[in-house]
Amino acid sequence: MSQELPVALRRTLVDFRLSGDGGLLLAGLPIVDADLGASPPVMSAPPRNGELARADAMLLLIASFLGYPVSQAGVDDGHLVRHVSPLPGHENTQLGSSSAGELMWHNEDAYHPLRPDWICLLCLRNPDGTATSFARIDDIPIDDSTRSLLARPLFRIEPDSSNTASSTAAEPPAVAVLTGDPSRPFVRLDPAFMFRASGGGDEAAAALEEVIKAVDQRLQDVSVAPGEILIIDNLRAVHGRRPFSARYDGHDRWLRIVNVAADLRRSEGFRTGDHGRAVVAEIELDTR
């Protein structure tokens, strides 16, 4: 089905996938606000209406052209498409359901060896124009000595509390922040949940602090409007969300989100669920 999307859209998605540009904003998807129903609390069952079904179908078609939509078995019961909306009591947490507190920037599921390659955020409502924060690792100046420390497995990242299937009992494995081509590396950061490994020493702690400060200084705000899809390359860019006031009146900020894997073969044997696309979180974490 995704092969039948308009040629211009397919060309844009292929160009984006090959360029490694970090982010792409697609606009102009038809969303009829009046037919969507009330913005539901995060983790609740989606309202059943044709408008939301059409919106999800558009999101999945576009995501399917990029790669393979996947979910985490321990996040929102493994639903392939999830809500992002505020939830009473979560205002100041580091979860997508927060609102009054800043959701600190991060790579999605940074702790996980099978973290998604891309995340696709479809905006259904954003009444205050709340910004998604965003930075591409290519735009972050990092000196050579910091870069070489960040390329070594000297850091640990704990699962965030959205993943109920992940245990924090065992110490997470030591991983590198930068991997791949040293001149154009992939990035793996989640400052709210990461620290230097015990063998890392003060130099590793300083390098981590340095890159976090540099990202802070170059964070851009991207306000995603209804009918727009923001695609984030989760290996090349970090994202977060600026604070906003939740309304809890049925018209809150509401995104639908799907994670995308470039290659299903990496998760062979670790997937479960009706659609065979939920990645089981309790796999042995390694340094892949």
Residues that bind Fe ion (CB under 5 A): 108
Q: Which of 205, 179, 287, 191 is CA-nearest to residue 239? A: 191
In the block, residue with structure tokens 């009054």: 100
Q: Which amino acid, residue 178? A: L
The nearer residue to Fe ion, 82 or 156, going by C-beta atoms, is 82
The nearer residue to Fe ion, 108 or 117, going by C-beta atoms, is 108
User: Residue number with the shortest CB distance to Fe ion?
Assistant: 108
Closest contact distance (angstroms) between CB of 107 and Fe ion is 8
Torsion of CA 272, 276, 280, 284, to 10 degrees: 100
The nearer residue to Fe ion, 105 or 146, going by C-beta atoms, is 105
Closest contact distance (angstroms) between CB of 56 and Fe ion is 19
The nearer residue to Fe ion, 98 or 267, going by C-beta atoms, is 98
Closest contact distance (angstroms) between CB of 256 and Fe ion is 14
User: DSSP class of residue 45?
Assistant: P
Q: Which of 71, 130, 122, 74 is CA-nearest to residue 98? A: 130
Closest contact distance (angstroms) between CB of 34 and Fe ion is 29
Closest contact distance (angstroms) between CB of 241 and Fe ion is 8
The nearer residue to Fe ion, 76 or 108, going by C-beta atoms, is 108
Are 240 and 31 spatial neighbours (Cβ–Cβ below 8 Å)?
no
Residue 21: how many CB atoms within 10 A of its CB?
A: 15
